[in-house]
Amino acid sequence: MEHVEADILILGSGGAGLFAAHHAADLDPTLKIIVAAKGLIGKSGCTRMVQGGYNVVLHPDDSLEKHFKDTIKGGGGINNQEMAWALVSDAPKRIRELETKMGVFFDRNEDGTIHQKPFAGQSFDRTVHRGDLTGIEIISRMRDQLFAKPNVITWDEVRAIDLLIDEDRQRVAGCLMLNMRTGQFIVVHCKAVIVGTGGAATMYKIATPSLEKAGDGMAMCYRAGTEFMDMEMMQFHPTGLLAENSRLNGGVLEEGLRGAGGFLINSLGERFMKNYDPERMERSTRDRVSRAAYMEIMEGRGTRLGGVYIDVSHLGKENVLRMFPGMVERCRDVGRDLSVEPVEISPAAHFQMGGVRVSVNCESNIEGLFVAGEDAAGVHGANRLGGNGVCDSTVFGARAGDAVVSYIQNKSDLANVSDTQVHSMMNDILEPFKREEGENPFYIRNDLKNLMWEKVGLVRNQKDLQFAEIQLQLLEERINKVSVKGSQKYNLTWQEYMNVRNLVTIAKMVTKSALMRTESRGSHYREDYPESNDEKWLSNIYVTKTDDDEPRYWTENVKQTHTNVSEIEGYKVLATSK
């Protein structure tokens, strides 16, 4: 077991983690900062997979107020309004920083201004982009610039196991980590931790995130005692590519396809969105389009692979090849030509609006623990607008980096790490090696994905959710019987055990919160409560782990600090209250 000391430990190397590292390192170049990734720094995570772009107010005819109201309206009114305002007001600064400091190249208009394209749910075309592979451009540039900072140490393929809390459980003290290549444990002693590892959408059968995503950061934060909110809010992307028996199954076809005028068609050749949102059609919000596609499939109007079609061929082959080269290439990988024919797609689990409850500066309820990006809740409410994701990562990554430096300026020493705590965590995670026979974690993962897709998916009801609660408890019991053989070095079965252990922890919170919210709002749709109920449910659901290791749930009304949601034009379209 290795012991390492640092000032700041950053878990995750997506937009949130890298932006936090840049800001912290620039504010104080004397700090020792470790950035650790479960995959490869700058080559893994979901920000790199962003295709569509980044929402930001740049045009004189646009405004922060418009972007803010679009975000609140899209979120069903339960957003943390202070965080939503921070998102829209900081975004122009982050775009300038990406261009001038990181060297990011965004597409330009003929007059030299940044090109902005239409995205669903927005009152103005404000999405900046680099073709249809924006995330690769952003992360690659940020990664390259990070290597120029001598006080930042990067760790590839080192996963976090659990957060270490000091004896009084009042302050984060570090993290128990695992070098996946060597199988060696590392105890990181630090003054502060920033968590930005991403969500747990991979608990579903059809999902868009990178394969290493398993809700690790969220699960660690839960076990450490943080407060969570909005865990029932799981976004399904409307256009996940269907690729039979392939790892490409669920890969996103970007929202710009619909924004540019793409059609969604069922197996009868009908543009079905006319029956669900005739005003906005395919440019409706993700929750509505996903649910509409799901209903078409469930009512027997789906394709051979159990999906629907997206068709952009009417835009012209040359235009499609010019505007969406990355999407054309992705479809070619599964034998389809997006430029000339319809392509089969399905809703796919994509993004968690819920997560750790944090302040506008990413502070959790545990001192020294900051959470940013998809691990944190509040900014998106019940549904995230396309293009607000990478905006969220960079805006709040930067805020976390700034806030953590201010915090540790008053901390001259490291918090105490208990040897007992460390050894208890190690023994717990090594338990599967002690069993000669037992469960296979890959089978458990498969059962989890099917259960969540069928019972806690796009359309929910009390009976299914109660069944899922029972089954998740049984899955947790099976996880405690997993057997792992072989060495600790790059042991994929052991890694999968840790993955599914964390996923089930998150799945239980998602399911219970979905059962509690007896209405439909944003991405959460209850067929037994199909209407939204502002009188009762303009509120957030919270959960935390108690001292006896049991979850405690409660609700709090939304604080409408910036605007009254009922005064936002079009809000009631998303939340019709009886």
What's the rounded Cα separation, in Å, for the pair 568 and 322? 37
Q: Do 18 and 139 meet the contact criterion of CB atoms below 8 Å apart?
A: yes
Q: Which residues contact 333 (CB under 8 A, 6 or more apart)?
A: 243, 248
Q: Do 81 and 561 meet the contact criterion of CB atoms below 8 Å apart?
A: yes
Q: Which residues contact 410 (CB under 8 A, 6 or more apart)?
A: none
**Which CA distances in Å does 221 have to 101, 175, 231, 351, 424?**
32, 11, 14, 18, 17
The token duo for 140 is: 């690659």
Q: Do 204 and 180 meet the contact criterion of CB atoms below 8 Å apart?
A: no
Q: Count other Cβ atoms within 10 Å, centred on residue 102.
A: 22
For the four alpha carbons of 71, 77, 79 and 85, in that order, the dihedral sign comes to: positive
What's the rounded Cα separation, in Å, for the pair 179 and 157? 6
HEC assignment per residue over 488-507 = CCCCHHHHHHHHHHHHHHHH
What's the rounded Cα separation, in Å, for the pair 451 and 204? 8
φ/ψ of residue 465, rounded to 5:
-65, -40
CB burial of 374-389 (b: ≥16 within 10 Å; e: otherwise) equals bbbbbbbbbbbbbbbb
Side chain identity at residue 376, one-letter code: A
φ/ψ of residue 325, rounded to 5:
-60, -35
Q: Which is catalytic among the residues 129, 237, 357, 460?
A: 237
Return the closest-CA partner of residue 212 out of 222, 224, 202.
202
Residue with tokens 């996940």: 240
Residue ranges of E strands in 94-222:
116-117, 127-128, 152-155, 158-165, 172-179, 184-189, 192-195
φ/ψ of residue 213, rounded to 5:
-70, 130
* Helix (DSSP H) and strand (DSSP E) numbers for the chain: 16, 20
Return the closest-CA partner of residue 400 out of 355, 363, 354.
363
Residue 23 annotated in active site: no
Residue with tokens 């012991």: 3
177 alpha-carbon distance from chain centroid: 22
Residue 237 annotated in active site: yes
Q: Do 342 and 241 meet the contact criterion of CB atoms below 8 Å apart?
A: no
562 burial type by CB count under 10 A (0-12 exposed, 13-18 middle, 19+ buried): middle
Half-sphere exposure of 13 (CA within 13 A, CB side): 31
The token duo for 384 is: 């995230």
Q: Which is catalytic among the residues 67, 130, 143, 258?
A: 258
Return the closest-CA partner of residue 128 out of 145, 111, 105.
105
| Active site (catalytic) residues | 237, 258
